[in-house]
Amino acid sequence: MVKDVAVIGGGLAGLVCALGLARAGLQVVLVEKKAYPFHRVCGEYISNEALPYLRQLGVQISALQPARISRFMLTSPGGNTLYAKLDLGGFGVSRYTLDSYIYGLAQQQGVQFILQQTVQEVNFENDAFSLLLSNGKSIKARVAIGAFGKRSNLDRQLQRSFFRARSPYIGVKYHITHDFPRDLIALHNFKNGYAGTSAIEDGKYCFCYLTTRDNLKAHGTIPAMERAILCRNPHLRRLFAEAEFLYPQPEVINEISFADKTCVENHMLLCGDAAGMITPLCGNGMAMAIHAAKIATGKVLLYFGGSLTRLELEQQYTLAWEQQFAGRLRLGRAVQGLFGGPLLSEVAVGLLRVVPPAVQLVMRQTHGKPF
């Protein structure tokens, strides 16, 4: 059987694509290398701009009892602090809970899931896709959507330029309990990195940080690096001293790249981090993944309805993706350049404290409007 759509990757972008397309009546198969539920390295904060589309898909966020977040806190490596109101606000919910919930909704809509398998190759021939799986089987589909995350072996097969350059960044995530306001998302700077804390469901908090391989290499282990580098920021020192860490080892990923990527490769539409990753300090990666999934879904439905040729599908998706996200990614990279160096971070936080409108401007330019 040839499916209408094959989705590669069951993260937020892939799940939302699969759910939206199946609700519209298409036959969808999704391939994910893990089995739900599972943890992901992620800040686990979603801007409220995504709520209208989630409701349209039947995703009842309130059923997950998320934390409602309306304020922002920024600290420098030395502990200087800035507070700001979030224009749109957002909510916090773990990927463990959210992804598993959307997975269940997609199953109810008839999405076929192939779990604990990876896609080894994607080939396009005779106006259709053939996906070779790690178990030796293959899937055929008229449309393929790549939502395989920040870095994948498929990037190598597709010879994507960013894959050839090593990235210095690693990401680390914990769940913790902590005495901290549940309506406040915090961004704490330290040497060559920054950490975010925000509330999620069940009274827990997500604590996630980005740093460099060099920081880790200099200190040998993650705990040693945290003691030597992160704890120089007094807010982080207090967190490590007072918080209860809820699992023994953190989730860790490496080779996180913020390089420019393309959103169509070999006729496959790419969305989520596979198409481009905004720097985590902007706090908008999850909403962007959902929005990209909405754009891809809408264009694919036009293609199956006969309103677009394949070439027009690819062109219109690329144009819509770039209009929505290219500027945000560029600004995110620029803003990230202000942080990480201790002296520059101190100066940046000091300037933002005396020019509050600049904080609101950056947030507006790195976020979108409700969709």
Check residue 331 and give its pLDDT. 93
Peptide bond into 37 cis (omega under 30): yes
Give the residue, 118 or 337, on which the prediction is more confident: 118
**pLDDT tens digits, one per residue of 192-210:** 999 999 999 999 999 999 9
What's the pLDDT band for 152 if we cut at 50, 70, 90? very high
Mean pLDDT of 133-160: 96
Buried b (16+ CB within 10 A) or exposed e, 65-84: ebbebeebbbbbbebbebeb
Q: What is the CA radius of gyration of the chain?
A: 20
Closest CA to 73 of 266, 349, 351, 313: 349
* Domain architecture of the chain: domains with CATH: 2-366 (3.50.50.60)
Task: Give percent of the chain above pLDDT 70.
Answer: 100
Mean pLDDT of 278-293: 95
Instruction: Write out the two tokens for 233.
Output: 């920021």
Check residue 90 and give its pLDDT. 98
**pLDDT tens digits, one per residue of 13-60:** 999 999 999 999 999 999 999 999 999 999 999 999 999 999 999 999
How does the average pLDDT of the chain come out, rounded? Answer: 95
Number of CB atoms found within 10 A of residue 260's CB: 12
